[in-house]
Structure formats: structure tokens, C-alpha cells
Structure 1
Amino acid sequence: MPATPVINLRKGHAVRYNNDVCVVTDTELKTPPRMASFVQMSVRSITIGKMYNLRMTSNESLESVNLVKDNHEFSYKDGDGYHFIHPETFEDVLIGEDKLDAKTRGYLIEGQKYLVVFADDVVAGIELPANIIMTVTDSPAGVKGDSANNVYKEATTESGMRVQVPLFIGPGDKISVKTEDGTYLGRAN
């Protein structure tokens, strides 16, 4: 693959660093006064999970790695990690806990489809949809007379994630949650 200037790299891009495939997790262009600009970036190795903090001049380059995204259904979690099944080939893809952060794990629901990301035929992680339908499993009852505008309570979803929801939401209700920040979007059917 061709080299890509580090100034053009964004979160989610895959690069080769230290003879390992890494995914960019954060990048920022810094231009201090009376100094040359540089790129401060963090990359995570997809094989060993190690984080690297890099400081490179804006004219340096890193080798790009091709990312492939494929739909898989989350099947179950066991001691080895998280199992995703390809819907057509029924191939089981195992993703270790080290490749999924706590936020991402909170959105995993059995039977839901996710994009599994591969870099050089190695699993790099998963890509969450913009929002996801979750079932509320536990929610305190709303207090009568507590009906002022924008009053929220904490509810627990089927994955164990906690979401702030309006008072009228109760156990068994399906809600839509924005995966970017975990906010309640509305009731779902």
C-alpha cells in the first residue's frame, strides 16, 4: 500500500507502524508559535493491543493498510471473547476483549448485526451503527406528580448499560440509543 502523509490520517484509519498493523485512535495537528507544525497521534496495535503515542512532523508518512468491513451477527460471549457469526457462511469470528473498549461492549446485543473490521485479514474491531434498539430491563417507577419537562431517570438495558430515559419508560420497553454518546433518542417498536 502507498504511504499516507500523517497530516491526512484520521481516527479509524489503519497504518503499519513498528512492523505491526495499527488503527489510529486519535490525531491532532499542533502548530506551536515559532516552531514547525507536528501531528500528535495515538495508534493501537490490532495484534497485541498496545497503544503508541506518536509525534511526527506534518510531512512524514506512514504506510496505509486496507480495511475491509463485513456484516456479522453478535452471537454470544464466553471466556475466550465475543463471537460474531457471518450470516451467509456461518463462519465464527472471535474478537478478544482487548479489541473492544467498555463503551463498545455496552452496545453488544445477541442477534444484532455489526460491521466487523478486518485489516490485513486480522480482526481490528467492530463498527457500531449510529443508533441501536435496546430493551430496558430495570427502571425505577416514576413518581406521581413528577411530570415537569425533561425529567429523566436512569434505566438499565439488556446489555447492562445505563441510559437516562424519560419517566414514562419502564421495564420491557424498547428504546433507541445513540451509540456516539449513549443518549436516549426515543421509543422503538
Structure 2
Amino acid sequence: MFFGFIGLILGFFVGFVLLCVFLVTGFKVDVALLTNITIAMATIFATYIHYDSTQRQRKERIWEINKTILLDLLESLAQVISESKAALEEEVQSQDPEYRSSREPNPTVYKKFKDKQEYGLEVYSALMDEELLKALEVAKSNEEKINKAVFEDETTDTQEAYEESIQSYEVLQSKLRKFVTDVSGVKNT
């Protein structure tokens, strides 16, 4: 919008300068010249409108193709973050010997997210942004490292592992939200 306004002002300015140059030099303007100038300007506007329409259609097609997987991925990621935060809170509270847990863990959200993540990386990778793919791969590798450190090596504290995992997921969530906003065109409307 802003650049369109600047372009309009520059166009009027350049047009006014050219008109002044033609009038000062004694240039004769006839109907044929005005017709050709009008046709040229109309062609330029039509080309711009066609180009803009093509770009919008391309963006809309990309959004329609990616919409389901991206929204499902966002939903399952939000569930994983919520579950991880609840598990972290429970881990912190379990330090108190009198604490009794009333929360039911939901490990299915992790599997659901992992499935969506794998599907996105394997199937939709050609249609996704490079930065988003990198964030998905980083989150996946971080989760694998954290799981290995906690369950196999037992070198990482569970609380520390949850914090690292949540941080990794939140970075992925912000990049995924940015990508969804860009692809969906929400900010362009």
C-alpha cells in the first residue's frame, strides 16, 4: 500500500516533468501520439494487474495445499508444549514430599506431533520454507538428543530436559506461526 502510494506520487511527478519538457521544447502533440501514449500506459497497468493476480493465485494455491498439514502441525505442537509445561510443573512440584499428582499424563500428544512432524518433513518438504524445514529438523534432533540423554545415558536431569525441549518447541512454534502467516496471506488483507 505504502509503495503504491509512493509510486503514484512519483508517476505524477515524472509525468508533470515530461509534460513541461514537451511544452517548453515546442513539441507538437497530436491525437495519434496521445492515443499511443494512452495505449502504452493501459498496457503497463494491465501487465502489472496480471502479474499481481498471478502472484496472489500462486500464494493461494500454496496455502490451500499446505493448510491442512500446517494447521494440524500447529495444533499438535501447541498440545506438546502444553503437555511438556504441565509435566515440567509436575516435576518441579514432585520435589515436595507431600505432593500428590492429580494430573494424567497424555503421551499420545508426543506421538501425534512426531507423526505430523515426520509427515511434514517427508511429504510436504518440497512445499515448505527452508527456514521452517530447518526448524523442524532442529526440533526433531534436539528431541532425540534429549531423549537419549535422559533415558539412555541418564546424564541429563529430567527438569533440564523438559526446559530444553520446551524451548526448542517454542522456537519451532514461532517459526511455524510466521510461515503460516506469510503463506496464508493474513497480514496482506
Between 1 and 2, higher relative CO (CA 8 Å, sep ≥ 6) is seen in 2
TM-score (norm 1): 0.22
TM-score (norm 2): 0.22
Structure whose alpha-carbon radius of gyration is higher: 2
Higher helix share: 2
Higher strand share: 1
